Structure 1
Amino acid sequence: MDVDRAWGDTGLLCALARRPVLLDKILDLYGASLVVTQAVAAEIRRLSGTSEAQRTPHTRLLCSGADAVVRYLDAGQIAECPLPTALDTFGKLDQVLRQLRGIDAAAAERAGRTMDAVTSAHKHAGETHSIVCAARTVELGGKTVLLTNDGGAITVAESHGVPCKDLGQLLAELGCEADPVDAAELFNSFNQVTRTFATVPARRQPTDASAFRCLKHGDICRLCS
Protein backbone atom coordinates (compact mmCIF):
# COMPACT_ATOMS: atom_id res chain seq x y z
CA MET A 1 0.00 0.00 0.00
CA ASP A 2 1.41 3.36 -1.04
CA VAL A 3 1.54 5.13 2.33
CA ASP A 4 4.43 6.08 4.58
CA ARG A 5 2.49 5.48 7.79
CA ALA A 6 -0.79 3.67 8.44
CA TRP A 7 -1.69 4.40 12.07
CA GLY A 8 -3.65 1.57 13.67
CA ASP A 9 -6.21 2.30 16.39
CA THR A 10 -6.75 0.04 19.40
CA GLY A 11 -10.27 -1.14 18.63
CA LEU A 12 -9.68 -1.82 14.95
CA LEU A 13 -6.49 -3.81 15.55
CA CYS A 14 -8.02 -5.84 18.39
CA ALA A 15 -11.03 -6.64 16.19
CA LEU A 16 -8.85 -7.58 13.23
CA ALA A 17 -6.63 -9.76 15.43
CA ARG A 18 -9.60 -12.00 16.14
CA ARG A 19 -8.91 -13.27 12.61
CA PRO A 20 -5.09 -13.57 12.63
CA VAL A 21 -5.05 -14.79 9.04
CA LEU A 22 -6.62 -11.52 7.92
CA LEU A 23 -4.27 -9.45 10.09
CA ASP A 24 -1.35 -11.29 8.48
CA LYS A 25 -2.73 -10.43 5.04
CA ILE A 26 -3.08 -6.75 6.03
CA LEU A 27 0.53 -6.80 7.26
CA ASP A 28 1.60 -8.34 3.95
CA LEU A 29 -0.23 -5.50 2.19
CA TYR A 30 1.02 -2.61 4.34
CA GLY A 31 4.37 -3.97 5.51
CA ALA A 32 6.39 -1.75 7.82
CA SER A 33 4.05 1.19 7.17
CA LEU A 34 1.48 -0.30 9.59
CA VAL A 35 2.41 1.23 12.95
CA VAL A 36 0.90 2.32 16.25
CA THR A 37 1.66 5.18 18.59
CA GLN A 38 3.16 4.36 21.95
CA ALA A 39 -0.17 5.41 23.52
CA VAL A 40 -2.09 2.86 21.43
CA ALA A 41 0.48 0.18 22.25
CA ALA A 42 0.05 0.98 25.95
CA GLU A 43 -3.74 0.68 25.64
CA ILE A 44 -3.43 -2.69 23.93
CA ARG A 45 -0.94 -4.00 26.50
CA ARG A 46 -3.20 -2.82 29.32
CA LEU A 47 -6.15 -4.71 27.85
CA SER A 48 -4.02 -7.80 27.36
CA GLY A 49 -2.86 -7.54 30.97
CA THR A 50 -6.42 -7.89 32.24
CA SER A 51 -6.59 -11.08 34.30
CA GLU A 52 -8.99 -13.85 33.34
CA ALA A 53 -10.99 -13.18 36.50
CA GLN A 54 -11.45 -9.53 35.48
CA ARG A 55 -12.47 -10.26 31.89
CA THR A 56 -16.21 -9.81 31.69
CA PRO A 57 -18.55 -11.11 28.97
CA HIS A 58 -18.47 -7.55 27.60
CA THR A 59 -14.66 -7.24 27.46
CA ARG A 60 -13.49 -10.83 26.91
CA LEU A 61 -13.30 -10.69 23.12
CA LEU A 62 -11.62 -7.28 23.18
CA CYS A 63 -8.99 -8.54 25.63
CA SER A 64 -8.35 -11.72 23.63
CA GLY A 65 -7.88 -9.59 20.52
CA ALA A 66 -5.39 -7.48 22.48
CA ASP A 67 -3.54 -10.66 23.49
CA ALA A 68 -3.01 -11.41 19.81
CA VAL A 69 -1.91 -7.86 18.91
CA VAL A 70 0.65 -7.87 21.74
CA ARG A 71 2.34 -10.86 20.12
CA TYR A 72 2.77 -8.81 16.93
CA LEU A 73 4.08 -5.85 18.94
CA ASP A 74 6.54 -8.00 20.88
CA ALA A 75 7.79 -9.57 17.65
CA GLY A 76 8.35 -6.15 16.09
CA GLN A 77 5.88 -6.85 13.30
CA ILE A 78 3.97 -3.69 14.23
CA ALA A 79 6.29 -0.85 15.23
CA GLU A 80 5.56 1.51 18.13
CA CYS A 81 6.19 5.17 17.25
CA PRO A 82 6.75 8.08 19.66
CA LEU A 83 5.03 11.44 19.45
CA PRO A 84 6.54 14.07 17.14
CA THR A 85 9.18 16.27 18.75
CA ALA A 86 7.77 19.46 17.20
CA LEU A 87 7.26 22.43 19.53
CA ASP A 88 3.52 22.53 18.88
CA THR A 89 2.89 18.84 19.65
CA PHE A 90 1.35 19.37 23.08
CA GLY A 91 -0.85 22.18 21.78
CA LYS A 92 -2.13 19.89 19.03
CA LEU A 93 -2.75 17.08 21.52
CA ASP A 94 -4.89 19.46 23.55
CA GLN A 95 -6.75 20.67 20.46
CA VAL A 96 -7.53 17.16 19.21
CA LEU A 97 -8.57 15.93 22.65
CA ARG A 98 -10.92 18.91 23.02
CA GLN A 99 -12.49 18.07 19.65
CA LEU A 100 -13.00 14.42 20.61
CA ARG A 101 -14.42 15.36 24.01
CA GLY A 102 -16.74 17.84 22.30
CA ILE A 103 -18.15 15.04 20.16
CA ASP A 104 -18.62 12.92 23.30
CA ALA A 105 -20.37 15.78 25.08
CA ALA A 106 -22.75 16.35 22.16
CA ALA A 107 -23.60 12.64 22.03
CA ALA A 108 -24.17 12.56 25.80
CA GLU A 109 -26.47 15.58 25.59
CA ARG A 110 -28.52 14.00 22.81
CA ALA A 111 -28.87 10.85 24.91
CA GLY A 112 -29.70 12.77 28.08
CA ARG A 113 -26.57 11.52 29.84
CA THR A 114 -23.84 13.31 31.76
CA MET A 115 -20.28 13.00 30.50
CA ASP A 116 -17.34 12.13 32.73
CA ALA A 117 -14.54 14.37 31.41
CA VAL A 118 -11.77 12.25 32.97
CA THR A 119 -13.12 9.03 31.48
CA SER A 120 -13.52 10.72 28.10
CA ALA A 121 -9.92 11.97 28.11
CA HIS A 122 -8.61 8.55 29.14
CA LYS A 123 -10.69 6.80 26.49
CA HIS A 124 -9.34 9.01 23.71
CA ALA A 125 -5.61 8.95 24.56
CA GLY A 126 -4.67 6.53 21.78
CA GLU A 127 -6.86 8.22 19.18
CA THR A 128 -5.51 11.65 20.13
CA HIS A 129 -1.89 10.58 19.74
CA SER A 130 -2.63 8.77 16.46
CA ILE A 131 -4.36 11.80 14.94
CA VAL A 132 -1.52 14.14 15.98
CA CYS A 133 1.11 11.77 14.56
CA ALA A 134 -0.82 11.32 11.32
CA ALA A 135 -1.35 15.07 10.97
CA ARG A 136 2.39 15.60 11.42
CA THR A 137 3.06 13.08 8.64
CA VAL A 138 0.78 15.13 6.39
CA GLU A 139 2.55 18.37 7.36
CA LEU A 140 5.89 16.83 6.39
CA GLY A 141 4.54 15.90 2.96
CA GLY A 142 4.19 12.19 3.67
CA LYS A 143 1.32 9.88 2.78
CA THR A 144 -0.64 8.57 5.72
CA VAL A 145 -3.93 7.03 6.78
CA LEU A 146 -5.64 6.54 10.13
CA LEU A 147 -7.13 3.07 10.57
CA THR A 148 -10.08 3.40 12.95
CA ASN A 149 -13.73 2.48 13.30
CA ASP A 150 -14.51 5.36 15.65
CA GLY A 151 -16.80 7.92 14.03
CA GLY A 152 -15.61 10.77 16.23
CA ALA A 153 -11.96 10.03 15.52
CA ILE A 154 -12.70 9.92 11.79
CA THR A 155 -14.44 13.31 11.93
CA VAL A 156 -11.59 14.93 13.88
CA ALA A 157 -8.83 13.33 11.81
CA GLU A 158 -10.39 14.46 8.54
CA SER A 159 -10.66 18.00 9.92
CA HIS A 160 -6.85 17.91 10.18
CA GLY A 161 -6.41 16.64 6.63
CA VAL A 162 -5.82 13.02 7.64
CA PRO A 163 -7.43 10.33 5.42
CA CYS A 164 -9.15 7.50 7.30
CA LYS A 165 -10.16 3.91 6.66
CA ASP A 166 -12.47 1.82 8.80
CA LEU A 167 -12.21 -1.96 9.09
CA GLY A 168 -14.67 -2.53 6.27
CA GLN A 169 -12.61 -0.42 3.87
CA LEU A 170 -9.41 -2.07 5.07
CA LEU A 171 -10.73 -5.59 4.52
CA ALA A 172 -12.11 -4.57 1.12
CA GLU A 173 -8.52 -4.03 -0.01
CA LEU A 174 -7.95 -7.77 0.44
CA GLY A 175 -10.63 -8.35 -2.19
CA CYS A 176 -8.59 -6.31 -4.65
CA GLU A 177 -5.32 -8.24 -4.38
CA ALA A 178 -3.86 -10.39 -7.17
CA ASP A 179 -4.99 -13.37 -5.07
CA PRO A 180 -8.20 -11.88 -3.64
CA VAL A 181 -9.98 -13.07 -0.53
CA ASP A 182 -13.56 -14.08 -1.29
CA ALA A 183 -15.93 -11.14 -0.84
CA ALA A 184 -18.50 -13.17 1.10
CA GLU A 185 -15.78 -14.38 3.48
CA LEU A 186 -14.65 -10.79 4.07
CA PHE A 187 -18.21 -9.62 4.69
CA ASN A 188 -18.84 -12.43 7.17
CA SER A 189 -15.53 -11.78 8.94
CA PHE A 190 -16.31 -8.07 9.18
CA ASN A 191 -19.69 -8.77 10.78
CA GLN A 192 -18.24 -11.28 13.22
CA VAL A 193 -15.34 -9.18 14.51
CA THR A 194 -17.33 -5.95 14.85
CA ARG A 195 -20.40 -7.47 16.47
CA THR A 196 -19.41 -6.81 20.10
CA PHE A 197 -16.87 -3.95 19.88
CA ALA A 198 -15.12 -1.69 17.36
CA THR A 199 -18.43 -1.14 15.60
CA VAL A 200 -18.41 1.02 12.48
CA PRO A 201 -20.72 4.09 12.29
CA ALA A 202 -24.06 3.21 10.70
CA ARG A 203 -23.45 5.46 7.70
CA ARG A 204 -20.27 3.48 6.88
CA GLN A 205 -21.65 -0.02 7.46
CA PRO A 206 -21.37 -2.36 4.45
CA THR A 207 -24.75 -3.93 3.71
CA ASP A 208 -23.64 -6.94 1.67
CA ALA A 209 -20.64 -8.72 0.18
CA SER A 210 -20.50 -6.39 -2.83
CA ALA A 211 -18.68 -3.86 -0.62
CA PHE A 212 -15.72 -6.27 -0.56
CA ARG A 213 -15.62 -7.14 -4.26
CA CYS A 214 -13.01 -5.49 -6.48
CA LEU A 215 -14.52 -2.91 -8.82
CA LYS A 216 -11.49 -2.51 -11.02
CA HIS A 217 -12.10 -0.80 -14.34
CA GLY A 218 -8.90 -0.54 -16.34
CA ASP A 219 -6.24 0.32 -13.77
CA ILE A 220 -8.57 1.95 -11.25
CA CYS A 221 -10.70 0.48 -8.45
CA ARG A 222 -12.69 2.93 -6.35
CA LEU A 223 -12.35 0.58 -3.36
CA CYS A 224 -8.58 0.27 -3.27
CA SER A 225 -7.21 3.19 -5.28
Structure 2
Amino acid sequence: MSKAWCDSGFLYAMAVRESVFRAFLLLYGDTLAVTAAVAKEIRDKARQAPGPDASTGRWQMVRAAGRVAAVLGKDIAVLPLPEDDATVDVMAGRVLDQLREADAARHGRAGTGPDDRVAAANKNTGETLSIVAAIRTLTWGGTTVLLTHDGGAREVADLHQVATQDMVDVLGQLVCEQQMTDEQAHAVYEAATQSFGTLPARDRPDGVGDYQCKALGGACSACDVANGQTPGLE
Protein backbone atom coordinates (compact mmCIF):
# COMPACT_ATOMS: atom_id res chain seq x y z
CA MET A 1 0.00 0.00 0.00
CA SER A 2 1.30 3.43 -0.96
CA LYS A 3 -0.15 6.69 0.32
CA ALA A 4 0.80 10.31 -0.33
CA TRP A 5 -0.75 12.24 2.57
CA CYS A 6 -1.42 15.87 1.66
CA ASP A 7 -1.53 19.00 3.78
CA SER A 8 -4.00 21.74 2.85
CA GLY A 9 -1.43 24.48 2.19
CA PHE A 10 0.48 22.27 -0.23
CA LEU A 11 -2.71 21.42 -2.12
CA TYR A 12 -3.77 25.08 -2.37
CA ALA A 13 -0.41 25.95 -3.90
CA MET A 14 -0.62 23.10 -6.40
CA ALA A 15 -4.16 24.14 -7.36
CA VAL A 16 -3.42 27.81 -8.16
CA ARG A 17 -3.16 26.78 -11.81
CA GLU A 18 -5.77 24.20 -12.74
CA SER A 19 -3.70 22.58 -15.51
CA VAL A 20 -0.82 21.98 -13.10
CA PHE A 21 -3.20 20.62 -10.47
CA ARG A 22 -4.63 18.14 -12.98
CA ALA A 23 -1.15 17.02 -14.02
CA PHE A 24 -0.28 16.47 -10.34
CA LEU A 25 -3.44 14.41 -9.77
CA LEU A 26 -2.63 12.22 -12.75
CA LEU A 27 1.00 11.79 -11.67
CA TYR A 28 0.16 10.56 -8.16
CA GLY A 29 -3.03 8.70 -9.05
CA ASP A 30 -4.83 6.75 -6.35
CA THR A 31 -2.05 7.20 -3.79
CA LEU A 32 -3.32 10.69 -2.87
CA ALA A 33 -5.13 10.99 0.46
CA VAL A 34 -6.08 13.48 3.16
CA THR A 35 -7.36 12.93 6.67
CA ALA A 36 -10.91 13.95 7.54
CA ALA A 37 -9.52 16.93 9.48
CA VAL A 38 -7.65 18.25 6.44
CA ALA A 39 -10.69 17.66 4.22
CA LYS A 40 -12.84 19.75 6.61
CA GLU A 41 -10.21 22.51 6.61
CA ILE A 42 -10.23 22.58 2.79
CA ARG A 43 -14.02 22.58 2.49
CA ASP A 44 -14.34 25.34 5.09
CA LYS A 45 -11.80 27.45 3.19
CA ALA A 46 -13.61 26.86 -0.12
CA ARG A 47 -16.87 28.14 1.38
CA GLN A 48 -15.36 31.44 2.50
CA ALA A 49 -16.45 34.61 0.74
CA PRO A 50 -13.65 37.19 0.88
CA GLY A 51 -14.87 40.76 1.14
CA PRO A 52 -14.39 43.40 -1.56
CA ASP A 53 -11.22 44.64 0.13
CA ALA A 54 -9.66 41.18 0.38
CA SER A 55 -6.19 40.79 -1.05
CA THR A 56 -5.50 39.06 -4.35
CA GLY A 57 -3.75 36.31 -2.43
CA ARG A 58 -6.82 35.62 -0.29
CA TRP A 59 -9.04 35.32 -3.37
CA GLN A 60 -6.44 33.11 -5.01
CA MET A 61 -6.35 30.79 -1.99
CA VAL A 62 -10.14 30.46 -1.80
CA ARG A 63 -10.35 29.67 -5.53
CA ALA A 64 -7.60 27.07 -5.15
CA ALA A 65 -9.39 25.56 -2.14
CA GLY A 66 -12.51 25.26 -4.29
CA ARG A 67 -10.60 23.29 -6.92
CA VAL A 68 -9.24 20.96 -4.25
CA ALA A 69 -12.60 20.55 -2.52
CA ALA A 70 -14.18 19.51 -5.84
CA VAL A 71 -11.96 16.41 -6.07
CA LEU A 72 -12.08 15.28 -2.43
CA GLY A 73 -13.48 11.78 -2.25
CA LYS A 74 -12.75 11.36 -5.96
CA ASP A 75 -9.17 11.99 -7.12
CA ILE A 76 -8.05 12.53 -3.52
CA ALA A 77 -9.28 9.97 -0.98
CA VAL A 78 -10.61 11.19 2.39
CA LEU A 79 -9.50 8.64 4.98
CA PRO A 80 -10.49 9.34 8.60
CA LEU A 81 -8.42 7.93 11.41
CA PRO A 82 -10.18 5.47 13.74
CA GLU A 83 -12.02 7.09 16.65
CA ASP A 84 -11.62 6.02 20.28
CA ASP A 85 -8.33 4.31 19.47
CA ALA A 86 -5.92 4.67 22.39
CA THR A 87 -2.86 4.04 20.22
CA VAL A 88 -3.86 6.78 17.78
CA ASP A 89 -4.60 9.18 20.66
CA VAL A 90 -1.20 8.61 22.25
CA MET A 91 0.58 8.95 18.92
CA ALA A 92 -1.33 12.15 18.07
CA GLY A 93 -0.50 13.66 21.46
CA ARG A 94 3.20 12.97 20.98
CA VAL A 95 3.22 14.41 17.44
CA LEU A 96 1.27 17.51 18.53
CA ASP A 97 3.78 18.19 21.30
CA GLN A 98 6.62 17.85 18.80
CA LEU A 99 4.92 20.28 16.37
CA ARG A 100 4.45 22.83 19.16
CA GLU A 101 8.10 22.49 20.11
CA ALA A 102 9.10 22.99 16.47
CA ASP A 103 6.90 26.10 16.23
CA ALA A 104 8.36 27.50 19.46
CA ALA A 105 11.90 26.90 18.19
CA ARG A 106 11.04 28.64 14.90
CA HIS A 107 9.71 31.70 16.73
CA GLY A 108 12.77 31.67 18.96
CA ARG A 109 15.12 31.71 15.96
CA ALA A 110 13.12 34.49 14.29
CA GLY A 111 12.58 36.51 17.45
CA THR A 112 8.83 36.61 16.82
CA GLY A 113 5.80 35.99 18.99
CA PRO A 114 3.55 32.92 18.85
CA ASP A 115 1.05 32.33 16.03
CA ASP A 116 -2.63 33.23 16.38
CA ARG A 117 -3.96 30.58 18.79
CA VAL A 118 -7.04 29.56 16.78
CA ALA A 119 -5.19 29.45 13.45
CA ALA A 120 -2.30 27.55 15.03
CA ALA A 121 -4.67 25.03 16.62
CA ASN A 122 -6.42 24.32 13.32
CA LYS A 123 -3.12 24.08 11.44
CA ASN A 124 -1.56 21.77 14.01
CA THR A 125 -4.61 19.48 14.06
CA GLY A 126 -4.38 18.84 10.33
CA GLU A 127 -0.62 18.39 10.40
CA THR A 128 -0.74 16.15 13.47
CA LEU A 129 -3.28 13.75 12.01
CA SER A 130 -1.56 13.68 8.60
CA ILE A 131 1.73 12.70 10.23
CA VAL A 132 -0.05 10.08 12.36
CA ALA A 133 -1.72 8.68 9.23
CA ALA A 134 1.67 8.46 7.51
CA ILE A 135 3.20 6.71 10.53
CA ARG A 136 0.35 4.19 10.52
CA THR A 137 0.92 3.55 6.80
CA LEU A 138 4.54 2.66 7.57
CA THR A 139 3.46 0.50 10.52
CA TRP A 140 1.24 -1.52 8.18
CA GLY A 141 4.23 -2.15 5.91
CA GLY A 142 3.25 0.40 3.28
CA THR A 143 5.20 3.25 1.74
CA THR A 144 4.29 6.86 2.31
CA VAL A 145 5.21 10.49 1.79
CA LEU A 146 3.89 13.65 3.44
CA LEU A 147 3.27 16.49 0.98
CA THR A 148 3.53 19.74 2.92
CA HIS A 149 4.98 23.24 2.89
CA ASP A 150 5.30 23.50 6.66
CA GLY A 151 8.86 23.36 7.96
CA GLY A 152 7.82 22.17 11.42
CA ALA A 153 5.74 19.34 9.97
CA ARG A 154 8.70 18.24 7.86
CA GLU A 155 10.98 18.24 10.92
CA VAL A 156 8.55 16.19 12.98
CA ALA A 157 7.80 13.77 10.13
CA ASP A 158 11.54 13.18 9.80
CA LEU A 159 11.68 12.17 13.47
CA HIS A 160 9.28 9.35 12.59
CA GLN A 161 11.08 8.29 9.39
CA VAL A 162 8.28 9.72 7.23
CA ALA A 163 9.54 11.08 3.90
CA THR A 164 8.37 14.56 2.95
CA GLN A 165 8.13 16.58 -0.25
CA ASP A 166 6.94 20.05 -1.17
CA MET A 167 5.77 21.87 -4.29
CA VAL A 168 9.30 22.27 -5.64
CA ASP A 169 9.84 18.51 -5.47
CA VAL A 170 6.55 17.79 -7.23
CA LEU A 171 7.13 20.40 -9.93
CA GLY A 172 10.52 18.78 -10.51
CA GLN A 173 8.76 15.45 -10.98
CA LEU A 174 6.46 17.03 -13.57
CA VAL A 175 9.52 18.42 -15.36
CA CYS A 176 11.05 14.94 -15.37
CA GLU A 177 7.78 13.64 -16.83
CA GLN A 178 8.08 16.31 -19.55
CA GLN A 179 4.78 17.87 -18.45
CA MET A 180 6.48 21.28 -18.36
CA THR A 181 9.87 22.93 -18.71
CA ASP A 182 11.95 23.96 -15.72
CA GLU A 183 11.28 27.61 -16.62
CA GLN A 184 7.53 26.96 -16.55
CA ALA A 185 7.87 25.11 -13.24
CA HIS A 186 9.60 28.07 -11.63
CA ALA A 187 6.93 30.44 -12.95
CA VAL A 188 4.24 28.22 -11.40
CA TYR A 189 6.12 28.19 -8.09
CA GLU A 190 6.43 31.98 -8.02
CA ALA A 191 2.76 32.48 -8.91
CA ALA A 192 1.65 30.10 -6.18
CA THR A 193 3.86 31.42 -3.38
CA GLN A 194 3.72 35.19 -3.85
CA SER A 195 0.88 35.57 -1.35
CA PHE A 196 0.58 32.19 0.42
CA GLY A 197 2.08 28.72 0.40
CA THR A 198 5.50 30.19 1.13
CA LEU A 199 8.21 27.66 1.87
CA PRO A 200 10.76 27.95 4.68
CA ALA A 201 13.84 29.81 3.47
CA ARG A 202 15.95 26.65 3.44
CA ASP A 203 13.51 24.92 1.06
CA ARG A 204 12.98 27.74 -1.45
CA PRO A 205 14.42 27.21 -4.94
CA ASP A 206 17.36 29.32 -6.00
CA GLY A 207 16.10 29.45 -9.56
CA VAL A 208 15.22 27.47 -12.66
CA GLY A 209 17.98 24.89 -12.15
CA ASP A 210 16.30 23.47 -9.05
CA TYR A 211 13.65 21.81 -11.23
CA GLN A 212 16.04 20.03 -13.56
CA CYS A 213 16.34 16.25 -13.49
CA LYS A 214 18.53 15.09 -10.61
CA ALA A 215 19.31 11.68 -12.04
CA LEU A 216 22.58 10.28 -10.75
CA GLY A 217 23.97 6.95 -11.91
CA GLY A 218 20.77 6.22 -13.80
CA ALA A 219 18.53 6.65 -10.72
CA CYS A 220 16.14 9.53 -10.14
CA SER A 221 13.30 9.34 -7.62
CA ALA A 222 11.36 11.94 -9.59
CA CYS A 223 11.72 10.03 -12.86
CA ASP A 224 10.70 6.65 -11.40
CA VAL A 225 7.09 7.33 -12.32
CA ALA A 226 8.07 6.68 -15.92
CA ASN A 227 8.85 3.13 -14.86
CA GLY A 228 5.49 2.61 -13.17
CA GLN A 229 6.48 3.85 -9.72
CA THR A 230 4.85 6.75 -7.91
CA PRO A 231 7.36 9.55 -7.20
CA GLY A 232 8.34 9.81 -3.57
CA LEU A 233 6.90 6.37 -2.77
CA GLU A 234 9.52 4.06 -4.19
Could you say whether these structures have the same fold, taking a TM-score greater than 0.5 normalized by the shorter chain as the test?
yes
C-alpha root-mean-square deviation of aligned residues, in Å? 2.1
* Paired letter, 2:22: D
TM-score, with length taken from structure 2? 0.86
Distance 1:128 1:180, change over 3 A: same
Q: Cα deviation per residue 1:8-56 (whole Å; 9 max; x = unaligned)? A: 1100101111111111111111101011111111001111111233883
Question: How far is 1:95 from its partner?
Answer: 1.1
Question: How far is 1:106 from its partner?
Answer: 2.6
Q: Structure 1: where are the runs of 5+ without partners? A: none
Aligned to 1:136: 136
Aligned to 1:39: 37
Aligned with 1:96: secondary structure? helix
Moved more, 144-153 or 190-199: 190-199
- In the alignment, the residues of structure 2 paired with residue 55 and residue 67 of structure 1 have an alpha-carbon distance, to the nearest angstrom, of 20
Aligned to 2:123: 123
% identical equivalent positions? 37
Aligned to 1:69: 68
Task: Assess if the C-alpha contact under 8 Å between 2:23 and 2:179 holds in 1.
Answer: no
* Paired letter, 1:139: T
Task: Assess if the C-alpha contact under 8 Å between 2:102 and 2:155 holds in 1.
Answer: no
Q: How does 1:206-217 map to 2 (within 5 A)?
A: 206-217=205-216
Q: Cα deviation per residue 1:101-128 (whole Å; 9 max; x = unaligned)? A: 1222233344242455554222211111
Task: Assess if the C-alpha contact under 8 Å between 1:38 and 1:80 holds in 2.
Answer: yes
- In the alignment, the residues of structure 2 paired with residue 107 and residue 100 of structure 1 have an alpha-carbon distance, to the nearest angstrom, of 10
- In the alignment, the residues of structure 2 paired with residue 116 and residue 189 of structure 1 have an alpha-carbon distance, to the nearest angstrom, of 29
Q: Cα deviation per residue 1:147-186 (whole Å; 9 max; x = unaligned)? A: 0011000000111110000110011001111x44211101
Aligned to 1:159: 159
Aligned with 1:42: secondary structure? helix
- Is 1:148 aligned with 2:148? yes
* Paired letter, 1:90: D
Question: How far is 1:203 from its partner?
Answer: 1.1
TM-score, with length taken from structure 1? 0.89
Distance 1:222 1:67, change over 3 A: closer
Distance 1:207 1:94, change over 3 A: same
Task: Assess if the C-alpha contact under 8 Å between 1:7 and 1:35 holds in 2.
Answer: yes
Aligned to 1:19: 17
* Paired letter, 2:32: L
What is the number of equivalent residue pairs in this alignment? 221
* Paired letter, 2:168: G
Aligned with 2:180: secondary structure? coil
Aligned to 1:168: 168
- In the alignment, the residues of structure 1 paired with residue 53 and residue 9 of structure 2 have an alpha-carbon distance, to the nearest angstrom, of 16
* Paired letter, 1:203: R
Distance 1:164 1:114, change over 3 A: closer
Question: Which of the residues 26, 29, 36 maps onto 1:28?
Answer: 26
- In the alignment, the residues of structure 1 paired with residue 116 and residue 211 of structure 2 have an alpha-carbon distance, to the nearest angstrom, of 38
